[in-house]
A = this chain, B = another copy of it.
Amino acid sequence: MSDTAGGTRRRGRPSRTESAGTRDRILSAAREEFSERGYEKTSVRGIAKAAGVDPALVHHYFGTKEQVFEAAIEVAFAPALAAPETIGDGPLDTVGERLTRFFFGLWENPATRTPLLAIVRSALNNETAAAVFRRLIAAQLLRRIAAQLDLPDAELRAELAAAQLVGCAVLRYVIRAEPLASADPERIIARLAPVVQGHLTGP
């Protein structure tokens, strides 16, 4: 019953025999490291040092480095995948604002920003992260929004809207380019919401 390795995967089973919060400390440290340095520059040893544990423990709990990464970004899925319901409900002529606000809500919240940073910082060089990125952006957000538009270019429209938001996230949160990085979120949203709306339902 408490077989930690049973089922489809052997990870993600915090059986009651493990020490207090060691697993969570590793996971938290891993998120921090991956979000700051990206996949390649992050080392298992670095994660272990940040968590104050032995490097062998990281492998003990999660397996390979890639499995550590998967576990670290897993928490980004729940909120992001819950999005389409929230955004889809409501009048179509304000969907741009709902989508933009939802997007910045994720990035302005430190708890969700960290795994997102880890994904974005790694997505350009790591195929696993790239796949996650596509799934997060394209499959979920866009297709369900595009499905509500009965225009021929619906998917392209949705993707260009996503390009605007993603580009803004890269410049503001990753590269930290000024003055965008220090601008008030509301000012950005005020400028971006109509643009996103225009992409989706404009001429």
Contact = CB atoms under 8 A, between A and B. Distances in A.
Interface of A: 37-38, 40-41, 120-121, 123-125, 130, 133-134, 137-138, 153, 155-157, 159-160, 162-168, 170-172, 174-175, 177-180, 183, 187-188, 191-192, 195, 198-199
Contacts of A41: 40, 125
18 contacts: A38-B124, A40-B125, A41-B125, A124-B124, A133-B175, A134-B175, A153-B187, A153-B191, A155-B179, A156-B180, A156-B183, A159-B177, A160-B180, A160-B188, A160-B195, A164-B195, A166-B170, A167-B167
B123 A157 contact: no
A28 to B, nearest CB: 21
B166 A171 contact: yes
A163 B181 CA distance: 12
Contacts of A130: 175
Given A38-B40, A175-B133, A195-B198, A187 B156 contact: yes
Given A165-B167, A170-B166, A160 B192 contact: yes
A171 B162 contact: yes
Contacts of A159: 171, 177, 179-180
Nearest to A160: B191
Contact of A199 (B124, B175, B179, B191): B191
| Across the A-B interface, the 6 shortest Cβ-Cβ residue pairs | A167-B167, A163-B167, A40-B40, A38-B125, A163-B168, A166-B167
Given A40-B41, A121-B125, A160-B180, A170 B171 contact: no
